[in-house]
Amino acid sequence: MVSKLNEAIGRILDSERALLAEAVTSRQYEAQPELAAKYGEAGRVKCLQDANYHLSYLADAVAASSHALFSDYIAWAKVMLDARGVSAADLSRNLKIMSEVVGERLPPEMGRVVQEYIEAGLNRLPALPSDLPPLFEDAAPHGDLAKKFLRLLLNGERHLASRLILDAVDSGVEVKDIYLHVFQPSQREIGQLWQLNRVSVAQEHFCTAATQLIMAQLYPRIFRTEKNGRRIVATSIGGELHEIGVRIITDFFEMEGWDTYYLGANSPTNAILQALSDRRADVLAVSATMTFHIRAVENLIAAVRASEDLKAVRILVGGYPFNVEPELWKRVGADAYAADASDAVAMASSLMNLRAGAQ
Ligand code: B12
């Protein structure tokens, strides 16, 4: 259960974030004057940005009553910062100062809750790795194809990467397998390489754009399934720029005969409500990748539930934070969640059958 207190703390951490981040940074620079000499003004600006980021994730984890979300963030931050020259010791000092500052500035009952979250993250920190092994597993289905695909993309060979995939499909590999065992792991591996500071933002963008282009080339093989009469609207939540996950979800539904309506990234609430109504959708699929979009998902779900016209719509959620915190889908008020595209269609179909049974 999400407690009202936790939700209120989340809101306060958000509204006070700039002041808290400034207080943490000033105190860290007072305690460690060598930082100013070593990193200069640019270093202070980075430190302030990081403190803002830590506080943002902290606010969302507390608001969702999820220690797992903050611990996962700390694990991610340790690797990301280490790859950019910020040691685990500096991160730990920063979090300890953050704990002091929130203890002083929040009402005691609230400060104690936030300190518990920071404490739990700090306790895990020493045992967490600062480097990560590649995500690709040799034994994974189509592991070889996925590795080749990623290598071509990282070398900027978009046409060869496209050829590789089209040939694989021609030789009998299922489109669904390409999605789940080639595109998904290679995208996740690119993310990890970015986190480890081993590929540039430009490479990350290139690989994503090329993958989307290659997905589009597979569409003649996707849009030919006979329809089953069920309708789904699928979208990323407002503010969310990650869209490949929900695009894959949509295409799986399309391949199973659903009539799909895919809105892409960063969709405004009104546009989503309108699409649900215009399409007479049975199911809404909402994706969030960044933890700081969870509350927007919750608000969207509340808006759908508040609309008389959309009472029958069933809501499926998914994406990174829902995979980290298995209870999160319930906390945002969804009807169901699926970890990846292979489970999503079965989950939505069972929601529909439940509904049919209830009528
Ligand atoms: C490409 C990418 C981007 C692109 C997105 C472009 C686009 N058009 O989509 C851009 C450059 C915009 C971007 C930006 C950012 N990104 Co980014 N990005 C990625 C990357 C590398 C791949 C995303 C992807 O395509 N994954 C492949 C899909 C198939 O997997 P998936 O999304 O998990 O989807 C599956 C399931 O989750 C589930 N699912 C997803 N949605 C739904 C919905 C429903 C209803 C259901 C049932 C299931 C479901 O099913 C899907 C299919 O099986 C990820 C790495 C990763 N691990 O995913 C990082 C990653 C998500 N990004 C990250 C970060 C930090 C950012 C930025 C803050 C900074 C940056 N790197 O530029 C910004 C924030 C942007 C914002 N405000 O939204 C981090 C997040 C870390 C964290 N702890 O939160 C990651 C994990 C990279 C990393 N390892 O550090 N990013």
For a ligand 1 pocket test, name from 187, 242, 291 the mutation site with the most ligand atoms within 8 angstroms of its C-beta: 242
Is the CB of 289 inside a 6 Å radius of any atom of ligand 1?
Answer: yes
Is the CB of 243 inside a 6 Å radius of any atom of ligand 1?
Answer: yes
Is the CB of 25 inside a 6 Å radius of any atom of ligand 1?
Answer: no
d(C-alpha 177, C-alpha 342), whole Å: 10
DSSP per-residue string spanning 169-228: HHTT--HHHHIIIIIHHHHHHHHHHHHTT-S-HHHHHHHHHHHHHHHHHTHHHHTTSPP-
**Where exactly are the structural domains of the chain?**
4-127, 143-221, 225-358
Task: List the one residue out of 156, 188, 182, 192 whose CA is nearest residue 76.
Answer: 192
**Which tokens go with 178?**
């390409």
d(C-alpha 32, C-alpha 88), whole Å: 15
CB-based contact 188:241 (threshold 8 Å): no
Query: What is the band of 38 on the pLDDT scale with cuts at 50, 70, 90?
Result: confident
Ligand 1 mean position to 173 CA, how many Å?
25
Query: What is the band of 354 on the pLDDT scale with cuts at 50, 70, 90?
Result: low
CB-based contact 170:185 (threshold 8 Å): no
Average per-residue pLDDT for the chain: 94
CB-CB neighbours of 209 under 10 Å: 12
Query: What is the band of 358 on the pLDDT scale with cuts at 50, 70, 90?
Result: low
Ligand 1 mean position to 186 CA, how many Å?
12
CATH classification of 143-221, choosing from 1.10.490.10, 3.40.50.10140, 1.10.1240.10, 2.102.10.10? 1.10.1240.10
What is the tens place of the pLDDT at every residue in 98-120? Answer: 999 999 999 999 999 999 999 99
Strand partners, 232: 260, 283
**Which tokens go with 160?**
């060869």
Per-residue model confidence (pLDDT) at position 26: 95
Q: What order do you get walking across the sheet with 283-287 strand by strand? A: 259-262, 231-236, 283-287, 314-318, 336-337
Strands 283-287 and 314-318: parallel
**Counting Cβ atoms within 10 Å, is residue 153 exposed (0-12), middle (13-18) or buried (19+)?**
buried
CA terminus-to-terminus distance, the chain = 29
d(C-alpha 256, C-alpha 341), whole Å: 12
pTM, rounded to two decimals: 0.95
Per-residue model confidence (pLDDT) at position 355: 62
CB-based contact 124:54 (threshold 8 Å): no
Class of domain 4-127: mainly alpha
Give me the CATH topology for the region 225-358: Rossmann fold (3.40.50)
Ligand 1 mean position to 11 CA, how many Å?
25
Is the CB of 198 inside a 6 Å radius of any atom of ligand 1?
Answer: no
For a ligand 1 pocket test, name from 203, 289, 290, 347 the mutation site with the most ligand atoms within 8 angstroms of its C-beta: 289
Is the CB of 318 inside a 6 Å radius of any atom of ligand 1?
Answer: yes
Is the CB of 273 inside a 6 Å radius of any atom of ligand 1?
Answer: no
Segment 347-351 mean pLDDT: 90
Matching fold, domains 143-221 and 225-358:
no
Helices and strands, counts by H and E, the chain: 18, 5
Can you list the pairs that 85-92 forms with residues at least 24 positions away whose Cβ atoms lie under 8 Å? 86/50, 88/125, 88/126, 88/128, 88/130, 91/125, 92/122, 92/125
d(C-alpha 252, C-alpha 88), whole Å: 41
What is the tens place of the pLDDT at every residue in 43-81? Answer: 899 999 999 999 999 999 999 999 999 999 999 999 999
